[in-house]
């Protein structure tokens, strides 16, 4: 019974124990192996396990060595005296210690024999099966990592590195863990995609001559190749070089970082902001530090929060209470359980990137004020107020929202009070009563809509200073290079001043969703810019992604578990203002063909089986887009439909926003004179005379006045 109790404790972590009935385990545990009498049948079975097999061999060797060390010492007589053992013959079996040593030795021998037998059977099976079988190849032949390893082993005549002598077989453990990913079809394959600045959204694969359309990049607005961004980065690189030179505390705290933080604080109308190397680090470091410093703090975490938030809460050591996704009643019920004076933090997102759902920020703020809690909104993902968007889901992270929502791009929290913030212009002052002002802590990313890299937090001056002073993830990390920070800063300024990219992107999103619906392509319903196409099977999702790439030169990544639940696998499309009319038509035709060729379920097929993820459901809810017709400029006397670019047409660049962005860097890079407009090739900077005097003559994709430096100040 003791053995069975021990086994029960490990059923959750061992696949074999977990799927085997208790009655079967009892039989295996209590009966001896017919081949190896000192072993139970369960122990013999365990020698086949990549984890337990080596562990059993190691442990048995340790036991033998332990008994031998005592048996060979002068303490044997003393041991016999203490145990009352009298040895009056040469029969070693009469010595209890010696008999245990012999039994341990026999068990070690039989464990070794069982292991050798298991290995021999594997080799025998491998020899009798095709080379593509699992026995001969732990990973599928399509796996690039195992293929490369096999090629290297073949060329050198050597196999994988052997395990440490007598120790744990690490490589075998790694292989077994990776095999699990292959078996459940969740193994991740990374495609070699190289985005071309001059041809966005075109990229080339490993072969520079093989070009594809990118339909899943997070550079939502194409700011990674915006001319003012590239111009600023080139000029900064020439004057300040590449690296930052150290952490923020040691030589890495430059005007570039301080100016960007001031800009981000102004964007969210908060007193202060702090820049991190990524939004993951920003969330992890902030939540970990805040929870560890606040005495007796309790986190209330949405069940669908991003991994970075989950990790930060875990690292804080604070108590965590998980509330049901988007369930305000559940959140309030859990808040009621704690005294109002207990420090509490409600952590949520604004837009969930894989489903495009948005959350009721306003109502969460109401609960926070009622129960004395701080609000931590991640605008990297996306959130909304349920009173204004009752159909939307909730979650205050702005990672997938910042830059894309609001008249200035400050995220969903700004978008909720769209007209109020629009009227306030670029004032840095908070607007009392607005949702963005009621949020205590906002986190965002520079790596998506702004086309750069990095993350940040914004909040009160003292809060930001606490994180700056205590967060290891900030203190002990080399700061971002000036050239990167400069590009991000230029991008933020440009998007604060120009709303056209956001409006055109949202219009293109509407068009693609409408055309998919017309073909019966199952799109998971949501009000945001995310276009998730439901596949419902991991293997088919990967197959669809491969088919689109190989047959139609369209790159869209399959999204599988654990990013989404099993059975909810999908293709996640992101539509940008840079996609042309022809490309929109192409992607709809290509996806339609893919569904037909591979036999993937369409909307009607999902309806026939009861639906999934809101697709094919009887009571399907109609979700209005976050961007209204009025906000897109589709109504009123000055109504204008955003114009999707035609192939070969120049990309829209707002010169007013360019001039304002340039002016932000005059004090560091020197002022620039405007000359007559000249052609500039995206990415190549053709015809643009920068501080270095570099100029090329690539075919133009848009028109922008070139700049010549007139003065450079220190």
Q: Collect all residues with Cβ–Cβ distance below 8 Å to 92 and sequence separation of at least 6.
A: 98, 99, 102
DSSP string, 43-108: HHHHTTSTTHHHHHHHHHHHHHHHHHHHHTSTTHHHHHHHHT----SS-GGGSHHHHHHHHHHHHH
CATH number assigned to the domain with residue range 200-222+500-632, chosen from the 4 options 3.90.1150.10, 3.20.20.20, 3.40.50.410, 1.10.10.10:
3.90.1150.10
Tokens read off for 362: 């306003």
Higher pLDDT, 372 or 134: 372
pLDDT in tens, 350-383: 754 444 445 678 899 999 999 999 999 987 544 3
Give the separation between CA 195 and CA 200, rounded to whole angstroms.
7
Can you say how many angstroms the Cα of residue 342 is from the centroid of all Cα atoms in its chain?
A: 32
Q: What is the mean pLDDT of residues 133-139?
A: 42
Of 83 and 684, the structure prediction assigns the larger pLDDT to 83
pLDDT score, position 641: 92
Q: What is the DSSP string of 23-44?
A: HHHHHHHHSB-SS-TTSBHHHH
pLDDT band per the 50, 70, 90 thresholds, residue 583: very high
Q: What is the pLDDT of residues 158-171, one digit of tens each?
A: 445 555 677 899 99
- Segment 144-168 shows an average pLDDT of 60
Label residue 101 by pLDDT band (50, 70, 90): low
CA 334 to chain centre: 28
What mean pLDDT comes out for the span 478-499? 98
Contact assessment for residue 689 and residue 706, using Cβ atoms and an 8 Å cutoff: yes
Q: Which stretch of DSSP H or E encloses residue 505?
A: helix 500-518
Measured distance CA(172)–CA(179) in Å, rounded: 10
pLDDT at 613: 87
Q: How far apart are CA 10 and CA 29, in angstroms?
A: 14
pLDDT band at 551 (very low <50, low <70, confident <90, very high): very high
Tell me: the pLDDT tens digits for 696-712?
A: 333 334 445 444 443 43
Domain boundary assignment for the chain: 1-54, 200-222+500-632
Residue 364, strand partner residues: none
What is the three-class DSSP state of 315?
A: helix
Which has the higher per-residue pLDDT, 190 or 153? 190
Q: What is the pLDDT of residue 41?
A: 76
Number of CB atoms found within 10 A of residue 631's CB: 21
Cα 348 from Cα 544, distance rounded (Å) = 32
User: Do the Cβ atoms of 579 and 568 come closer than 8 Å?
Assistant: no
Across the range 212-230, mean pLDDT stands at: 96
Kindly state the tokens that stand for 213.
């359309």
Strand spans (E) along 182-230 = 194-195, 202-204, 211-214
d(C-alpha 381, C-alpha 396), whole Å = 7
Is the distance from CB of 302 to CB of 375 less than 8 angstroms?
A: no
| pLDDT exceeds 90 at position 430 | yes
Q: What is the pLDDT of residue 45?
A: 78
| Cα torsion through 382, 387, 391, 394, rounded to 10 | 30
Mean pLDDT of all residues in 8-25? 66
- pLDDT score recorded for residue 23: 61
The stretches of 526-647 forming alpha helices (DSSP H) are 538-552, 581-598, 603-608
Q: Which of 161-165, 447-451, 480-484 is least confident?
A: 161-165
CA dist 329 and 621 (Å) reads 21
> Residue 188: pLDDT band by 50, 70, 90 thresholds?
confident
Residue 332: closest CA among 310, 308, 364, 284: 364
Q: How far apart, in whole angstroms, are the C-alpha atoms of residue 191 and residue 650?
A: 29
What is the rounded average pLDDT of the residues 179-189? 87
Tokens 């205050």 correspond to what residue? 396
Per residue, the 3-state secondary structure of 225-281, as one string, reads: HCHHHHHHHHHHHHHHCCCCCCECCCCCCCHHHHHHHHHHHHHCCCCEEEEECCHHH
Whether the CB-CB separation of 40 and 33 falls below 8 Å is answered with yes
Q: What is the DSSP letter of 223?
A: G
pLDDT at position 337: 96
CB 402 within 8 A of CB 408: no
User: Which phi and psi (to 5°) does residue 264 adopt?
Assistant: -70, -35
Proportion of the chain above pLDDT 70, given as a percent: 71
What is the DSSP code (8-state) at residue 699? P
pLDDT top residue among 621 and 211:
211
pLDDT single digits (tens) 276-329: 999 999 999 999 999 999 999 999 999 888 888 999 999 999 999 999 988 899
Number of H helices, E strands in the chain: 27, 17
How many Cβ atoms are within 10 Å of 29's Cβ, its own excluded? 15
Q: How far apart are CA 620 and CA 608, in angstroms?
A: 14
Q: Is 199 a catalytic residue?
A: no
Is pLDDT at 109 greater than 60 in this prediction? yes
Catalytic residue among 448, 542, 601, 651: 448
Q: With residue 284 as reference, give the H or E element that holds it.
A: helix 279-293
Q: Among 274, 283, 704, which residue's Cα sits nearest to residue 480?
A: 274
pLDDT above 60: residue 76: no
Look at residue 711 in the predicted model and tell me its pLDDT.
41
Residue 647 has pLDDT above 80, yes or no: yes
**What pLDDT does 562 receive?**
82
What proportion of the chain, given as a percentage, has pLDDT over 90?
Answer: 57
User: Average pLDDT for residues 520-533, to the nearest whole number?
Assistant: 91
* Cα distance between residue 449 and residue 412, in whole Å: 13
pTM of the model: 0.73
Could you tell me which residue, 127 or 566, shows the higher pLDDT? 566
- Residue 197 CA to residue 217 CA, distance in Å, equals 13
Average pLDDT, the chain: 81
At residue 455, φ and ψ (nearest 5 deg) are -140, 175
């Amino acid at each position: 019974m003791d053995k069975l109790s021990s086994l029960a404790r490990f059923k959750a972590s061992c696949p074999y124990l977990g799927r085997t009935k208790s009655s079967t385990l009892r039989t295996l545990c209590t009966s001896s192996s017919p081949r190896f009498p000192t072993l139970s049948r369960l122990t013999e079975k365990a020698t086949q396990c990549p984890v337990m097999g080596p562990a059993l061999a190691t442990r048995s060797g340790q036991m033998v060595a332990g008994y031998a060390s005592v048996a060979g010492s002068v303490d044997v007589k003393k041991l016999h005296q203490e145990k009352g053992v009298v040895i009056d013959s040469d029969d070693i079996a009469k010595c209890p210690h010696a008999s245990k040593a012999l039994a341990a030795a026999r068990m070690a021998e039989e464990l070794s024999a069982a292991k050798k037998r298991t290995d021999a059977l594997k080799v025998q099976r491998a020899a009798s099966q095709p080379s593509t079988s699992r026995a001969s190849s732990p990973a599928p032949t399509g796996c690039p990592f195992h293929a490369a390893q096999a090629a290297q082993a073949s060329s050198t005549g050597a196999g994988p590195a052997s395990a440490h002598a007598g120790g744990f077989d690490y490589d075998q453990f790694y292989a077994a863990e990776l095999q699990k990913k292959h078996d459940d079809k969740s193994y991740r394959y990374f495609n070699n995609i190289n985005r071309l600045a001059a041809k966005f959204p075109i990229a080339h694969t490993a072969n520079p001559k093989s070009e594809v359309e990118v339909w899943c990049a997070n550079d939502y607005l194409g700011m990674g190749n915006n001319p003012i961004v590239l111009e600023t980065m080139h000029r900064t690189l020439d004057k300040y070089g590449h690296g930052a030179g150290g952490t923020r505390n040691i030589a890495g705290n430059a005007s570039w970082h301080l100016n960007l933080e001031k800009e981000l604080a102004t964007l969210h109308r908060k007193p202060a902001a702090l820049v991190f190397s990524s939004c993951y680090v920003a969330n992890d470091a902030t939540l970990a530090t805040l929870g560890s410093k606040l005495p007796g703090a309790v986190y209330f975490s949405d069940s669908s929060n991003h991994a970075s938030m989950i990790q930060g809460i875990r690292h804080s050591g604070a108590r965590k209470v998980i509330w049901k996704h988007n369930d305000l009643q559940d959140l309030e019920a859990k808040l009621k359980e704690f005294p109002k004076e207990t420090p509490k933090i409600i952590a949520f997102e604004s837009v969930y990137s894989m489903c495009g759902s948005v959350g009721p920020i306003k109502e969460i703020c109401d609960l926070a004020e009622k129960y004395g809690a701080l609000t931590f909104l991640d605008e990297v993902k996306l959130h909304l107020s349920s009173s204004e968007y009752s159909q939307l889901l909730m979650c205050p992270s702005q990672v997938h929202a910042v830059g894309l929502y609001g008249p200035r791009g400050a995220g969903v929290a700004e978008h909720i009070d769209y007209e109020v913030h629009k009227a306030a212009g670029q004032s840095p002052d908070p607007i009392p009563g607005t949702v963005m002002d009621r949020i205590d802590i906002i986190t965002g990313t520079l790596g998506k809509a702004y086309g750069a890299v990095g993350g940040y937090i914004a909040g009160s001056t003292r809060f930001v200073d606490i994180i700056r002073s205590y967060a290891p993830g900030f203190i002990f990390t080399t700061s971002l290079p000036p050239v990167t920070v400069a590009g991000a800063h230029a991008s933020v300024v440009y998007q604060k001043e120009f709303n056209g990219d956001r409006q055109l992107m949202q219009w293109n999103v509407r068009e693609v969703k409408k055309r998919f619906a017309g073909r019966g392509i199952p799109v998971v319903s949501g009000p945001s810019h995310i276009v998730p196409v439901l596949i419902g099977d991991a293997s088919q999702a990967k197959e669809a992604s491969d088919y689109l790439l190989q047959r139609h030169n369209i790159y869209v990544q399959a999204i599988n578990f654990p990013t989404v639940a099993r059975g909810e696998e999908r293709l996640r499309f992101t539509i940008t203002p840079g996609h042309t009319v022809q490309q929109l038509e192409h992607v709809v035709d290509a996806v339609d063909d893919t569904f037909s060729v591979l036999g993937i379920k369409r909307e009607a097929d999902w309806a026939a089986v009861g639906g999934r993820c809101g697709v094919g459901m009887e009571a399907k809810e109609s979700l209005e887009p976050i961007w209204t017709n009025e906000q897109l400029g589709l109504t009123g006397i000055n109504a204008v439909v955003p114009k999707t670019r035609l192939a070969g047409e120049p990309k829209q660049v707002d010169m007013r926003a360019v001039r304002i962005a340039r002016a932000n860097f005059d004090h560091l890079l020197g002022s620039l004179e405007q000359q007559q407009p000249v052609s500039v090739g995206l990415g190549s900077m053709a015809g643009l005379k920068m501080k270095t005097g570099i100029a090329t003559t690539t075919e133009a994709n848009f028109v922008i006045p070139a700049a010549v430096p007139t003065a450079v100040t220190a």
